[in-house]
Structure 1
C-alpha cells in the first residue's frame, strides 16, 4: 500500500504541474507547431521561419492537437495542457499494463513507476524522452511523453501477442502503432523498436508468428512512407547535424545515472534465473547502441539511452517482489528505498513548479530551476501572427510559440536548407562592426517587421515600442 500511495502522490504532483506548465527547452517549438497547424492543416510550412518547408514536428499527434485548436478556438497553451494530460495518462496506464506482463504482484506497477521517476543519479538531469521526475515535469506536454506512453502500451501488446495466438488484426495494429510512435517522436521510436526486438528475441516466436510480424513491419513501413507532412526516411541522413547537441549525453554518466547501477545488479540476478529474460535483452541492446554512438562519434545515438535505463529501472523495482527468499526481498526493498530517496531529494525542486520558489524551504529552493519567461508581451505590443522578428538564438526558441516567425530557427532544422545562411545573417545583423546599410539590407531580405534585442540594438530605422523582462526591447522597423 505504501508504494501505491507514493506513486499516487507523484502522479497528483505531475497533474498540478500541468496546470502551471513550466516553460523550458522545446516547449516553444511544439507550441509553434500547433500554431501553424491551427492556421493551415494542409500547408503549415516551417514552424519557426517564414518558409514552405516540411518538418518532422508535423506528426499525427501534433496534427490532432492542431485540429483541436482549430475547432475549439482554445489557445495553444491550453491545448498543450490537454496534450500533457493525455500523455501522462498514456504513460501511467502503459507502465501499469507492461509491468503486469512481467509480474502479477499488486505493488509491482507502483514500484516500477517510482523507479522510472527517481532511480537516476545525484545530479539533476533533464532531457526530452528521459523519465526523471524533473525532466517529465518540464516535458510533460512534449510529443516524447505521448510517444513513450504509447511505447509501454506497445510493449505490453506485443508481449501478449507473442505469448498467445494473436490474429492478423492484432499484428497489423501493432505495425500501425509502431509507425505512429516513430512519426510522433523518432528517438522514442528507436527505443520502442529496441524494446520490441528484445521481446521477440526472448519469446522465440513460431514461424506463423514471424509471418504476421513481417506483415506488421510491412504495414508500419508503408505508413511511414505515406505520411504526407515530411519524408521520414530522409531523417536517416540528418544525423550529422545533430551530433554536437547530443554530445552532452555522454558526459557525467555516473553523476546523472549512477543509481541505475542498482537496476543493472538486478538485471544480473534476472539473467542468472533466465538467460533470455526480456529486460536483460532490452538493456543489452540499448547499452550496445548507446556505446556504439559514443565510440563512433554518432552522439545522436545517445538518445537510445532510455532503452538501457528503462529495463534496469524496472528490474530494480521488480526484484522487490521477485527475489526468492523473503529476507532477500526485504533487504532489496530497503536498498531500493534508499536509492529512491536519494533520487527524490535530487529532484525535490520539482515541487516549485507547483508552489513557486518562495513557498519552498531554503534547501529545496536551491534545487529549483526557474522556468523561462515567455514573450507574450510582444504580442500585446502589436506583433501579429506571421510577422517576422529579428532576434537572437534564445528568444527565437520562444517567439514562434505565439505566432510570429524569426529570421533564423532557434532549433536545428534538417529540412531548412538555408538555415546556416539565416543564422549567419542574424549574427551579421547584431555584430558591432556591421554597417547600418548592411543591417537594413538584411531586414529587407527577410521581410523583418520587428527587432527584439537589448538597448544596443537601437538604430534610426527602429522605433522602440515596448520593454520586457531581462532587459529585452521590442523595436518596430520603420519603412
Structure 2
C-alpha cells in the first residue's frame, strides 16, 4: 500500500497540479535564474529581500540558470527531491525509534491518511491530498530534512557523539529554518523533544558540543545574505488573519489522529519522558497559545502535535502479536481510521487519472487545479508589470512578470499597503479615470488582467488595448502610452 501511494505521488509530480502557492515558488526561481545574487522581491518590482530566497530555492535557481530548464521543470525536480527526502526521513526517524520493520510503511500510511474525515490542504501538513499539491514546495523539503534532523540528533545523543556531528546538526537545523520558517518551528520543537527525552540524560561532554552546534546554527541564520532571518520575528498583521482558519473544524480535519493520541498515552504510561510524547506536548502547547493569544500563525506548529501521534500509532500497530489482544484491537482501530482517511482523500486520484476513470463518489471529492496564466505569455515578457486583483496576482509572477501589489503578505516590502490600496482604487467603481491612469503610470504598468465585472478602465478606453482573452472571459489589456 505504501509503495502504491509513492507511485501515485511520483505520477502527480509529472502533472504538478496547481493550487495555492506554486506561483510564488516558480516566481522565486525565475528571479534567481535571472540574477542569483540580487534577485529582488519575487512578486513586485522592488529591490528588497525576501524569505522565499532560502538555501533550497537558491540552489534550484542556480540549476535553472545552469541548465536552461524552465521554472516548472525545476519545480518537478524539487518535487522528486523533496519526496525522496521526506520518505527517507520518515524511514530514518522511525528506525531511530524502533527496530520493527513494519513500522516504516505503516508510518508512511499514517502521516498521509491519519488526519480527518474532511479534506485539508496546507503546506507543511502531510495529508495525501495536501502533499500532492505541495510536494514541490520548500516546506516539503524542509520537513524531510526535519525527519533526518530528529533521527540524527536522537542517535547522536544516545551515542554521545562529538563536536563534528553536533556542529553538522546545527547547520542542518539552520537550513530547515531558512528553507521554510514555519516548518523550522516544527523541526525545532521536535529537536527539543529529542533532547528532553534522551536517556540517559546527556553528560557535560555531550552538552558542550551540542551548545556549540546550536551557536553555529544561530550564526548561520544571522549570516544568511538573502534576507535578515531574525527580522521575521516582527512579522504579523495579515499573517494572523490568513492562519485563523487553522483553528476551525479541528475534529473534521484532524480527528482521526486521536488514534495516535491513544498510542501516545500508552507510551506516556511507560515513560514520562518519551520523546514522541514530549514532541506532541510541545506542539499542542504552541498551537493552544496561538489560539488564546490571537497569534494564529502559531497554528502552523500543529504538525508538531500530529506527526508524533501518527508515528506513535504506526510503531504501536507494528508490534502486534497474536497473544496481545490490546495491540490487536488497536491495530484494527488504526486500520479502520486509515481506511476512512484514504477514502476522504480519494479525490487525489483525479490529479493523475481522467475524471471519467474515477468512481462517481471519488469524482465528487476531486477538485480541479487552477488553470494558471500561461495564456498571457505570448504578449507579457519577463519583468513587465501587470495590474491585477489578488487571486491573479498569486499566479502571474510565475511566468516572469511582476504585479503592482503582491498576492501574499510581504513583510519586507515597505510600500505594501500603498500598493494594495492603489490596486483597490484602480478597480473601485467610483474612482475617477484620471486617478486610475495615474496608478498605471506610477507603477509603470504595461498590462492589465481583469474579468469583465472587475471594474477599472473601460475596455474601450483609449489608454488600453485588448490583446487576449483567457478562461471565463478574463481579458489581457495592453497599456498604451
> TM-score normalised to the size of structure 2?
0.97
- Is 1:186 matched with 2:181? yes
Shift of 1:336: 0.6
Shift of 1:321: 2.5
Tell me which residue corresponds to 1:66: 61
Residue 186 of structure 2: SS of its match in structure 1? helix
Shift of 1:383: 0.8
Gaps of 5+ in 1: 1-5
What is the CA–CA distance in structure 2 between the aligned matches of 1:322 and 1:228, rounded to whole Å? 48
Shift of 1:212: 0.8
Shift of 1:276: 1.1
Spell out, residue by residue over 1:400-441, the C-alpha distance to the aligned partner (whole angstroms, 9 max, x if none). 000000000001100011111101100100111111111111
Given the alignment, which residue of 277, 281, 284 partners 1:280? 277
Tell me which residue corresponds to 2:194: 199
Contact kept? 1:408, 1:426, Cα under 8 Å = yes
- Is 1:250 matched with 2:252? no
Given the alignment, which residue of 219, 223, 226 partners 2:223? 226
Q: How does 1:18-417 map to 2 (within 5 A)?
A: 18-203=13-198, 204-322=201-319, 325-380=323-378, 382-417=379-414
What is the CA–CA distance in structure 1 between the aligned matches of 2:235 and 2:120, rounded to whole Å? 25
Residue 66 of structure 1: SS of its match in structure 2? helix
Distance 1:240 1:432, change over 3 A: closer
Contact kept? 2:467, 2:476, Cα under 8 Å = yes
Spell out, residue by residue over 1:65-95, the C-alpha distance to the aligned partner (whole angstroms, 9 max, x if none). 0000000000110000000000000000000
What is the CA–CA distance in structure 2 between the aligned matches of 1:274 and 1:78, rounded to whole Å? 47
What is the CA–CA distance in structure 2 between the aligned matches of 1:293 and 1:164, rounded to whole Å? 36
What is the CA–CA distance in structure 1 between the aligned matches of 2:162 and 2:214, rounded to whole Å? 15
Residue 377 of structure 2: SS of its match in structure 1? helix
Tell me which residue corresponds to 1:441: 438
Gaps of 5+ in 2: none
What is the CA–CA distance in structure 1 between the aligned matches of 2:342 and 2:277, rounded to whole Å? 26
Residue 352 of structure 2: SS of its match in structure 1? helix
Shift of 1:330: 2.1
**Deviation >3 Å, runs of 4+:** 322-325
Between Structure 1 and Structure 2, how many residues are aligned?
Answer: 473
What is the CA–CA distance in structure 2 between the aligned matches of 1:265 and 1:107, rounded to whole Å? 19
Shift of 1:57: 0.1
What is the CA–CA distance in structure 1 between the aligned matches of 2:352 and 2:104, rounded to whole Å? 25
Spell out, residue by residue over 1:107-129, the C-alpha distance to the aligned partner (whole angstroms, 9 max, x if none). 11000010000000111100010
Q: Which moved more, 1:135-144 or 1:454-463?
A: 454-463
Contact kept? 1:241, 1:414, Cα under 8 Å = no
Q: Pairwise CA RMSD of aligned residues?
A: 1.0
Tell me which residue corresponds to 1:470: 472
Contact kept? 2:320, 2:328, Cα under 8 Å = no
Contact kept? 2:162, 2:206, Cα under 8 Å = no
Contact kept? 1:121, 1:343, Cα under 8 Å = yes
Tell me which residue corresponds to 2:416: 419
What is the CA–CA distance in structure 2 between the aligned matches of 1:383 and 1:271, rounded to whole Å? 59
Tell me which residue corresponds to 1:461: 463
Contact kept? 2:41, 2:48, Cα under 8 Å = yes
Shift of 1:329: 2.3
Residue 439 of structure 2: SS of its match in structure 1? helix
Shift of 1:327: 2.6
> TM-score normalised to the size of structure 1?
0.97
What is the CA–CA distance in structure 2 between the aligned matches of 1:260 and 1:399, rounded to whole Å? 37
What is the CA–CA distance in structure 2 between the aligned matches of 1:269 and 1:225, rounded to whole Å? 41
What is the CA–CA distance in structure 1 between the aligned matches of 2:119 and 2:79, rounded to whole Å? 22
Contact kept? 1:279, 1:312, Cα under 8 Å = yes
Tell me which residue corresponds to 1:3: none
What is the CA–CA distance in structure 2 between the aligned matches of 1:272 and 1:239, rounded to whole Å? 39
Shift of 1:323: 6.1
Residue 275 of structure 1: SS of its match in structure 2? coil
Shift of 1:352: 0.4
